[in-house]
Every structure is written in C-alpha cells, then in structure tokens.
Structure 1
C-alpha cells in the first residue's frame, strides 16, 4: 500500500520532508492534467511550505479566491514566466509593506504557454523570469527542454532569490530524495 502522504509504496520519504517557513506566499496554478501525475513536483512545495496554495487553472472560470488575492492591497503579485517583447521581465524587488505572492504555472511548458495565452488576467501581472544557476535535476518526463526547471526547482530558486537560503537547501534535499527514490519505487525496489 502506498504512503498516503508521499505516494511511494516501497520507499517512503516522509522522514526527509522539511517544514519550511517563508514570508512569501506561493501559488501553484495547476493545469488539470497535472493533478493526477505522480511526477508532479508541485506536491513537494505544498507539503513543505505552509503558505503554499494550489488552484486548478480553468480557461473559462478563473479561481475567484486567487483573483481576489491578486487585487488585494496586502500582496505584491508576480507571475513566474519567461519574458518576451510584449511582456518584459521585471527585476525582483521586495516591498516592506506587502507580502510577495508568487504565481507558478504548474504544468508542462506547452500547457503553461497556453495557460498564459488564454488567461488575460495573468497577462496583467508583473513577470519574473529566473536564470537557473545549475542544470535541472528533473528527468522524469520525456521531451524536456534544456534550461527549464520543474515546479519544485522553480520554488527552490525563488526561495534563494528572496534570501531564504536555508529553506531552499532543505527543499532541494527533499526534492533530491524524491528524484533518487522515484524510479526505484515505481519498479518495486528499495532505494539503496
């Protein structure tokens, strides 16, 4: 029987799970196709970051609670997405008076581009673009493009960018445990 928390059957990694703290709020705007995938790393963020929320993306019905947060004077929202000529990236700057609200598109890159294109309310947000300092350690799906990060790696990079290095290191350790365990568990073997 699989662990109800980490989902692994032969190699539970719950003992590796850190409990993190961070002043920023993280929102995973998840494509519906991602919700049932066991390769989804956004789950790692949901388990470890107490102020991390998930909303399911819907082209016709955007999540009302998220739209309210975006309009709130309490938050400084950022859309984590590559810039382009029409929507240039803005360098990250913390504000003392508002809580950062980072929107991460929890989807494949093809799905994420569609989500942005078909959601005008996302286009209004300031874009934050990340420059990875190392190669992605995520190799669980085919057709991955070089230079791209999975959802959890993007969260780790955001923690580093906002000055939360110990939390980033703890989440990186948990992510590494997930990656190291995934194939062994799915093939029915204990991790070495």
Structure 2
C-alpha cells in the first residue's frame, strides 16, 4: 500500500543517478515494510483514526533507510505528508500545506533552541468539527541534520515551536542517540498524537514501533522471531480497539 514516505522514496529512486548502498542493501526486502520476507509485518499494519496530521521533512537519505520510523507514521496516520529537505529549494506543495487554513502547524523541536515567545508546550485541540486541526512538522534525520534543517528553513520561522516534555528516556533500539532525551521520529509522533487528544493512535503507534523493532533486530541478528510476544499481543489488542488488559 502506497503512502507519503514510500512515494517520496520512489520519487527519489527514480531521480537518483546511483543506487543507495549501505550495510544489508543486498538483502531482499518486502516493499511494504522494508523487512526481510521471513520477518514481514505487513499483516500487522494497524488502522486507527486521528484528527492530527503529520508533515515529515526528511533529510537526504532517510527515505532509503530500512530503519527509518517515519515510514511507520505514514503507515498509521492517514493524513501524513513527506517532503525531502533542501537548503536551496522548498517544495511548493510543502508551502501550500503549511498555509492550508484547515491546519494549525507546529514545528516539533526543543524549545531551548528558539526564542521563548515561539515556544508552546500544549496543542490547541479543535472543539468543533470546523476548527483547525493540529499538523505536526517533524524534522526526520539525525540530530545534527534536524538542527541544520531547523536553522536553514526560513519558511518555518513563523510557526510555533512545540517543545515536548516526555518525562522519560527514549526506548528506541535501532540507532544510538547522543543523549537519552533524543527520541526517534515515531516516538516523537506518538507524543504529539497524545497531546492532540489522539490517545488511541498514540498508543498504537508506540506498540507498532515496538513490534517493528522486534522484527528488525531479529532479522538483523538472525534470531528466531517470537510472533507471540507481549509486543505483538499489545499491538493486536490496540488494533482491534480493545485496550490492553481489558476483556475481549
């Protein structure tokens, strides 16, 4: 099933003059979840409702990385857009989205890096169907790439900056972060969804990331995949709308 990140990846591949090569590139992968066929999790893809939208601005090679978790956001949140970042040009479709009157965009970034008057810690949730819906602008890349995108994207300067206060360390296991406060893109998106009142979507995305991590690491380390794990049961429970621990 095509979504924003997969379409961006396809566009980038079509325009590329040379293939993206990294460790494990020779491995045959599922086109739907980017995992080895033996560890495919396409059948586990959840469907949930969310009023919030996600706008991913992606660093150069992020769409190509099998470990990229922006893909999971696009899997789950129907209103997700993905754009490649460039210092010298900006996609007109991105500017149109940020100016769309149905959305209230928030750039998600640590508040200590911007002027205090731009920083917000809460999200305005529309009280009525006609109100503006929150659109979370996520800078998808390494920490150094995200800082560069934030500093060199003047079209973001007029937007409020949502500074998250999670109160816990990241549980992400696929890349090593410089600081425990640095979260992967899916973890950030789940926190944003929770702030927007999309609690079920937030919990489901967190569970989906846990399952993806389990599948990815099992394939990478050539370990037996436990499809009866607690993470799988939690995702299945949330995908069917039954809260974890509640009677079916």
TM-score by length of 2: 0.73
Q: What are the superposed Cα offsets for residues 111-170 of structure 1, whole Å, 9 maximum, x if unpaired? A: 000011111111221000111133211121234321111000011111111111111111
Q: Residue 5 of structure 1: which of 7, 20, 32 is its match?
A: 32
Higher relative contact order (CA 8 A, sep 6+): 1
- The offset of 1:105, in angstroms, is 0.5
Question: In the alignment, is the contact (CA less than 8 A) between 1:87 and 1:127 conserved in 2?
Answer: no
What is aligned with 2:125? 94
Question: In the alignment, is the contact (CA less than 8 A) between 2:35 and 2:66 conserved in 1?
Answer: no
Question: In the alignment, is the contact (CA less than 8 A) between 1:78 and 1:102 conserved in 2?
Answer: yes
**Could you list the runs of 5+ residues in structure 1 that have no partner in the other structure?**
none
2:139 alignment partner, SS class:
strand
2:83 alignment partner, SS class:
strand
What is aligned with 1:124? 158
Verify: 1:146 aligned to 2:146, yes or no: no
Question: In the alignment, is the contact (CA less than 8 A) between 2:191 and 2:202 conserved in 1?
Answer: yes
**Runs of 4+ deviating beyond 4 Å:** none
TM-score by length of 1: 0.92
Question: In the alignment, is the contact (CA less than 8 A) between 2:125 and 2:197 conserved in 1?
Answer: no
Q: Residue 84 of structure 1: which of 94, 105, 112 is its match?
A: 112
Verify: 1:26 aligned to 2:54, yes or no: yes
1:142 alignment partner, SS class:
coil
Q: Which moved more, 1:3-12 or 1:151-160?
A: 3-12
Report which of the two structures shows the higher radius of gyration computed on alpha carbons: 2
Distance 1:143 1:22 in 2: 29
What is aligned with 1:104? 138
1:7 alignment partner, SS class:
coil
**Could you list the runs of 5+ residues in structure 2 that have no partner in the other structure?**
1-27, 227-248
Distance 1:13 1:86 in 2: 39
- The offset of 1:24, in angstroms, is 1.4
Aligned length in residues: 192
Q: Residue 168 of structure 2: which of 134, 146, 150 is its match?
A: 134
Question: In the alignment, is the contact (CA less than 8 A) between 1:82 and 1:129 conserved in 2?
Answer: yes
Distance 2:135 2:175 in 1: 28
What is aligned with 2:189? 155
Q: Which moved more, 1:115-124 or 1:77-86?
A: 77-86
What is aligned with 2:95? 67
